[in-house]
Amino acid sequence: MPHRHDSVRKRCRNSILRQQLTHHYNQPLLGFEGKKLKKIIWRVFFTATTVVALGAQASSRDSISVVGSSTVFPFSKVVAERFGRATKFRTPTIEQTGTGGGFREFCKGVGVDYVDISNASRKIKKSEKTLCKKNGVREIIEVLIGYDGIVLANSVNAPVFSLSRRDIFLALAKEIPNPDGSNSLIPNPHKTWREVNSALPDTKIAVLGPPQTSGTRDAFVELAMEGGCKKFAWIAELKKTNKAHYKSICHIIRDDGAFIEAGENDNLIVQKLNANPAALGIFGFSFLDQNTDKVQASLVDGQQPTFESIADGRYPVSRPLYFYVKKAHVGVIPGIAEYLAEFTSEKSWGEEGYLADKGMIPLPKNKRAEMKARVAGLVEMNDF
């Protein structure tokens, strides 16, 4: 049995080593080679201490921890369940936190106390990369897994909506262009869909959607709201001259009750749509595909969201799906490499795979091969 003072001795040795490295690092090393040597010393020290810390703690966690996107959640959940049944490893824990919430957890640090994988319905943001770096999360593997469409759906007991992205913007933006034709804005006055477009129903605007932490909301704002916003030429020009103002117009959703935040739980949105057939809800195509007996999709710019229209880009509100992996945890937390292999197998994410049955739009064959090779080789992001 280890002596009770062993941990104290280890901390002392680590402290001495850190002081020695700091002393040597602060010596006057001149020129490019000196700077290069400094970087090498710190990288070796960081890597070594991370591996020691992870190795010492790994015995206290024997299952993979995954957080993030509610859109990616059902896909990773089914992979985790199959992985747990077919291998010697425990079934990974999958949590829905939203894409933004997932990255906040993912970027907190490296080690057994921190999550291993973050699911995302968008790419990691620059600010999130900065947070990761600040907390020592530096070696990250980015995996594109497939595509999904964002739908505006309503109860099957109500008429199908046919909306343009311009309609969506004018219904949900906090401020809209002044109808007098001037290059100015007014608070959104629209109460009904018919006020937005005379061809639409004379029903109250009520749209249930995800919170600001959701990748689905980020993508909806960028693809649907901004897509309609830039139909106004003077606003589109702002993107070149004042990008911050442009985004404040196109991306800010009204907060007067027409848009209702319904949390990360898409099942709750479906329940509320059934209770209020006049309302619309925002969620991923995969969820729609699993609930066609309860909800139906609106057309957007004349396009019905389908596997084919999302895969070939005809449906205008579609986005890529990802997960991000801490390389430092692979080989330390049991089963990560094997879980990644299961997720990127043809039986999983292929055109005839079980994830397609769940509603995920597969990547093209050559892109799947590229991603699989990246995962197998634990290739880190090159722009991190």
- The string of pLDDT tens digits covering residues 33-48 is 555 545 544 454 445 5
Q: Compute the distance between CA of residue 58 and CA of residue 223 in angstroms, rounded to an integer.
A: 42
Instruction: Indicate whether 116 pLDDT > 70.
Output: yes
Q: State the average pLDDT for the chain.
A: 87
Q: Do residues 112 and 336 make contact, with C-beta atoms less than 8 angstroms apart?
A: no
Cα–Cα distance list, 180 to 120, 176, 199, 315 (Å): 41, 12, 21, 32
More confident position, 27 or 359: 359
Strands, E, within 162-277: which ranges?
162-163, 175-177, 185-187, 207-209, 259-261
Amino acid identity for residue 164 in this structure: S
Q: Which pLDDT belongs to residue 311?
A: 86
pLDDT band at 54 (very low <50, low <70, confident <90, very high): low
Taking residues 267-284, report their average pLDDT.
Answer: 91
How long is the chain?
384
Please tell me the pTM assigned to this model: 0.70
Q: Tell me the pLDDT tens digit for each residue of 157-214.
A: 999 999 999 999 999 999 999 999 899 999 999 999 999 999 999 999 999 999 988 8
Dist. CA 168–CA 227, nearest whole Å: 9
Report the C-alpha gap between 267 and 107 in whole angstroms: 28
Q: What is the distance between the alpha carbons of residues 361 and 223, in angstroms, rounded to a whole number?
A: 18
Residue 290 has pLDDT above 90, yes or no: no
* Backbone φ, ψ for residue 381 (5° rounding): -60, 135
**What percentage of the chain's residues is helix, strand, coil (to nearest 5)?**
45, 15, 35
pLDDT at residue 286, rounded to an integer: 83
Helix extents (H) in 118-157: 126-134
Nearest 5°: CA angle at 98, between 92 and 128? 100
Q: Give the type of residue at 283.
A: F
The pLDDT, as a whole number, for residue 3 is 45
Cα 304 from chain centre:
24
The answer to whether residues 213 and 265 touch, using CB atoms and an 8 Å cutoff, is no
Rounded CA separation 96/118 (Å): 10
The arithmetic mean of pLDDT across residues 62-78, rounded, is: 95
Interatomic CA distance for residues 55 and 17, integer angstroms: 19
60-147+320-376 to CATH, choices 3.90.110.10, 3.40.430.10, 3.40.190.10, 1.10.10.10: 3.40.190.10
Token digits of residue 58:
């790994």
Q: Where are the domains of the chain?
A: 60-147+320-376, 149-319
CATH number among 3.40.50.300, 3.30.70.330, 3.40.190.10, 3.30.160.270, domain 149-319:
3.40.190.10
Q: What does the pLDDT read at residue 21?
A: 33
